[in-house]
Amino acid sequence: MQKILYAYPEGSSYDELLTAAGKPRPVARALLEHFEKLGPEALRQRQETADTAIRAMGITFTVYSEAGNIDRSWPFDIVPRTLPARQWRQIEAGLRQRLKALNHFIDDIYNEQQVLDDNVFPREVLEGSRNFRAACRGVHPRFGAWANICGSDLVRDADGTVYVLEDNLRVPSGVSYMLENRAIMKRLFPEIFAMCSILPVDDYPAQLASMLAELSPRPSDKPVIAVLTPGIYNSAYFEHSYLAQQMGAYLAEGSDFLVDSEDRVFLRTISGLLQVDVIYRRVDDDFLDPEVFRKDSVIGLSGLMRAWKRGTVAIANAPGTGVADDKVVYAFVPEFIRYYLKEEPILPNVPTYLCMREADREYVLAHLDELVVKPANESGGYGMLIGPRASVEERQRFAERIREDPRNYIAQPTLSLSTAPTLIGDHLEPRHLDLRPFILQAKDSYVTTGGLTRVAMNAGSLVVNSSQGGGSKDTWIVEEDA
Partner 1 sequence: MLSRVAENLYWMARYLERAEDLGRFINSATLLLLDLPLGTRFGWDILLQITGEAQRFQQHYGQPTEKAIMRFLIADSRNPSSLLSCVHQARENCRTFRDLLPGEFWERINSLFLYVQDGLEKENIAEDRRARLDFLENVIARRHALVGLLVGSMSQNSAYQFIKLGRNIERADMGSRIVDVVSAVIPPEDQGVRRTVYQSLWVGVLRAMSALEMYRQYVGVQVRSARAVEFLLRDSKCPRSVRSCLADMELALAYLPNAGIPAEALRRTRRRLDQLQLKELTPAVLHEYLDQVQKDLSMLHHTIENAYFRAREKNDPYPHPSLQRIALQA
d(CA 355, CA 344): 26
C-beta of 282: minimal distance to partner 1 in Å? 5
Nearer to partner 1, 164 or 244 (CB): 244
C-beta of 325: minimal distance to partner 1 in Å? 13
SS3 281: strand
C-beta of 29: minimal distance to partner 1 in Å? 38
Nearer to partner 1, 279 or 402 (CB): 279
According to DSSP, the β-strands at 76-84 and 250-252 are: unpaired
14 touches 395 (CB < 8 A) = no
C-beta of 437: minimal distance to partner 1 in Å? 20
Nearer to partner 1, 254 or 437 (CB): 254
C-beta of 169: minimal distance to partner 1 in Å? 13
Residue 231 has phi, psi (to 5 degrees) of: 120, 180
C-beta of 73: minimal distance to partner 1 in Å? 13
Nearer to partner 1, 324 or 356 (CB): 324
For residue 314, which amino acid is it?
A
Nearer to partner 1, 14 or 74 (CB): 74
Nearer to partner 1, 6 or 64 (CB): 64
- Cβ atoms within 10 Å, residue 471: 19
Give, for 447, the enclosing helix (H) or strand (E): strand 445-447
Nearer to partner 1, 104 or 170 (CB): 170
For residue 330, which amino acid is it?
Y
d(CA 23, CA 478): 17
Name 227's bridge partners: 251, 280
Nearer to partner 1, 116 or 273 (CB): 273
d(CA 448, CA 475): 11
In the chain, % helix, strand, coil (3-state, to 5) comes to: 40, 25, 40
C-beta of 233: minimal distance to partner 1 in Å? 4
C-beta of 255: minimal distance to partner 1 in Å? 5
d(CA 283, CA 297): 11
C-beta of 66: minimal distance to partner 1 in Å? 13
126 touches 115 (CB < 8 A) = no
Give, for 76, the enclosing helix (H) or strand (E): strand 76-84
Nearer to partner 1, 107 or 239 (CB): 239
- List Cβ neighbours of 178 (8 Å cut-off, separation of 6 or more): 201, 204, 438, 448, 450, 451, 452, 475
d(CA 242, CA 402): 41
Nearer to partner 1, 254 or 470 (CB): 254
Burial class (CB in 10 A: 0-12, 13-18, 19+), 152: buried
C-beta of 224: minimal distance to partner 1 in Å? 12
Task: Name the site residues for partner 1 (rule: CB under 8 A).
Answer: 56, 58, 62, 64, 69, 171, 173, 230-236, 241, 245, 250-256, 258, 260, 267-273, 282-284, 287, 298-299, 380
452 touches 181 (CB < 8 A) = yes
